[in-house]
Amino acid sequence: MNIGLLGCGNVGHGVLEILDADKKHDVKVTKILVRHERNNGDGRFTLVPSDVTGNPDIDLVTEFIGGVESAAEFVKASMQHGKHAVTANKKMLAECMPEMFRTAHENGVELFFEASVGGGIPWISNIRNIREIDEISSFRGIINGTTNYILSSMEKGMDFAPVLAEAQTLGYAEPDPTDDIDGFDTRYKTVISCEEAFDTYIRPEEIPVFGIRHISKSDMDYASENGMTVKLLSRVVKNGDSIAASVMPCMIAKDNELAAVKANSNAIELTSSNLGKLLFIGQGAGTYPTSHAVVQDILAIQNGKKHDYSRLTRGTVENAGASGVYYIRTAAPEVFSEIESERAGNGAVITVKTDLEKVMGLIDRANDPELFIAEVV
């Protein structure tokens, strides 16, 4: 099987290293699209996209470009030329999934994306295996290593800003950390996981998201003093034909299994009819865990694994009835007086059990750009 690489950054280079060293499988990289000329004597590099996407000698492409428009264009063009595709690009998948699935189905090719959620856990393939004989009812978990690293460090008494800077220095956080700390990356992964667990596509913007950008040491102190810690969780529950979904910081008991997941690791808990609860823990990011997941997808396709892209249906989020107790620190606590149960020492409002949709309406009324919210679970 001849492989074309669309991009060769950290993960792409990791895949190249693994495949170039592999002697067990009939798989080789024959062409590599890059943005800038490389004078290293390797004739596989090209600046021309069609040298990969339209190359009749290439059987499968791997996409490492990032972003949405160019990545979607190149992956779609490759599939239209009869090539299988593997990607780790969660944003592109979450935004363009129906179009990508339709293109794969119409052209009789495979589009695999194990590395898009959970890095090297593996998460996607386990969902597929479970669903062969079982029905999944819910999942929740830590699926962003950057925010988990930040929150784990803040548990030790550090403030948000210096921890974020440290994460950027170590390469755990991007120079622009918006997708991570505002919860968007977790939301993209939630969309992909819903497709795998329920054959349902939900637009990313339909999932309520609250990030950790405005978390403070006082929030962590409150959690610690009450036997809890803070984790950014994706949570999804299927109720009949409806799906309740959210991305939100949660204060969870320190003896909870998810509380023990530290640094940049990921952990995802799944509930199914026959197996009950399962917990998957592993490296959720990093060059080699992600590269490993990509190569596993390549080998799965080479071995004839298939996915039924025609099963995808359009769904919507129905959070009516989803309720909880919330910790809300804001400059406008009076807005939440009707649902207030008590005040924390730092002035944060602790609510009575309240519908999430009502809380979201009050947050809009508060109009506080630095508000921080976490559900107490």
Would you give per-residue pLDDT tens digits along the chain (377 residues)? 999 999 999 999 999 999 999 999 999 999 999 998 887 778 999 999 999 999 999 999 999 999 999 999 999 999 999 999 999 999 999 999 999 999 999 999 999 999 999 988 999 999 999 999 999 999 999 999 999 999 999 999 999 999 999 999 988 888 999 999 999 999 999 999 999 999 999 999 999 999 999 999 999 999 999 999 999 999 999 988 899 999 999 999 999 999 999 998 999 999 999 999 999 999 887 889 999 999 999 999 999 999 999 999 999 999 988 999 999 999 999 999 999 999 999 999 999 999 999 999 999 999 999 999 999 99
Q: Is 189 a catalytic residue?
A: yes
For 124-282, CATH gives 3.30.360.10
Distance CA 197, CA 189 (A): 12
Domain spans of the chain, in order of start: 2-112, 124-282, 323-376
Which residue type does 321 have?
A: G
Closest to 309 (Cα-Cα) out of 188, 199, 192: 199
pTM for the predicted model, two decimal places:
0.96
Distance CA 244, CA 198 (A): 12
**Strands across the sheet with 84-87, in order?**
45-46, 28-33, 2-6, 60-63, 84-87, 111-112
DSSP 340: E
DSSP 337: G
Interior angle at CA 354, CA 352 and CA 360, nearest 5:
125
Check if the beta carbon of residue 112 is closer than 8 Å to that of residue 244.
no
Using a 10 angstrom Cβ sphere, with 0-12 exposed, 13-18 middle and 19 or more buried, the burial of residue 21 is exposed
Total Cβ atoms within 10 A of residue 361: 12
18: left (phi over 0), alpha (psi -120 to 50) or beta: alpha
> Does 2-112 carry CATH code 3.40.50.720?
yes
Distance CA 54, CA 60 (A): 11
Among positive and negative, which fits the CA dihedral 195, 201, 203, 207? negative
Catalytic site residue from 31, 76, 90, 189: 189
Distance CA 26, CA 69 (A): 32
